[in-house]
Amino acid sequence: MASDEIKILSAGAPKSAVAGCADAFSEKTGIPIWYEFATAPMLKEIVGSGDCEADIVVAPVATSQAFAEAGHTLAESGPVLGSVKAAVTIKSGATEPDLSSADTLKQALLGAESIVYNEASSGQYIHTMIEQMGITDAVADKVTRTKTGSAVMEHLHASSLTNEIGFGQATEIQVQINKGLDVKLLGTLPKEVEKISTYNASLLSASADNQAAKDLLEFIASDEGQAICKATGLI
């Protein structure tokens, strides 16, 4: 990638923060920025292949650390954009599950007509949570896995069921609501089973000489960049 442009590869949960920081930086500097989004497992595959064309990768901190250890990104830690909680979403007007405790959520899952979550990292967590609740077999026939987080909300939007429970990152759910999908962000997971994911940005080793990319990382870490991130719902 040329040093007078920047390409970002990012996980989906901090999508609005990545786009917001990139657009603000581009407007300030005139430097063109391209960004695309993928699930955390896809990020691992793309970056791990050694053929990643991005200058910056935004990923969960543990994934970023693994990239650095493998030499795919520079060892020094990049700026943290923020954290996001896993949450529950339903179609507007549908039955609202009780999220007051892990047990009430478990009972809601057992009574639901359908359960929807993705194949990305947040969905992997939900899958494990269901296993730990001991209800995997009981709900297996009504579970739908989608490829991406946004596809969960698209599924709910198109559904005619009245007791269907979806899961996703709170920020991703809100993005789809803002796009006009007829879904509701009901709330985050109960305290006993809550999931908080933190995302940071790292410079790819192949882009070590891209000064514009380094400047963007500094912008993300600045007060202005952090304010943009927080305004998108990151905590």
Q: Note whether 76 and 95 are same-domain residues.
A: no
Q: Which residues contact 97 (CB under 8 A, 6 or more apart)?
A: 88, 90, 104, 105, 108, 109, 112, 165, 186
Whether the model pTM is above 0.85: yes
Q: Note whether 177 and 108 are same-domain residues.
A: yes
Q: Note whether 142 and 184 are same-domain residues.
A: yes
Q: Note whether 59 and 107 are same-domain residues.
A: no
**Domain residues for 125?**
84-193
Q: Note whether 133 and 187 are same-domain residues.
A: yes
Does the residue 1 lie in any domain? no
Distance CA 193, CA 5 (A): 42
Distance CA 25, CA 104 (A): 45
Q: Note whether 94 and 184 are same-domain residues.
A: yes
Q: Note whether 37 and 15 are same-domain residues.
A: yes
How many beta carbons lie within 10 A of that of residue 160, not counting itself? 6
Q: Which residues contact 33 (CB under 8 A, 6 or more apart)?
A: 5, 6, 7, 8, 22, 23, 25, 26, 216
pLDDT tens by residue, the chain, 235 residues: 445 899 999 999 999 999 999 999 999 999 999 999 998 889 999 999 988 999 999 999 999 999 999 999 997 768 999 999 999 999 999 999 999 999 999 999 999 999 999 998 899 999 999 999 999 999 999 999 999 999 999 999 999 999 999 999 999 999 999 999 999 999 999 999 999 999 999 999 999 999 999 999 999 999 999 999 999 999 9
Closest CA to 14 of 48, 34, 40: 40
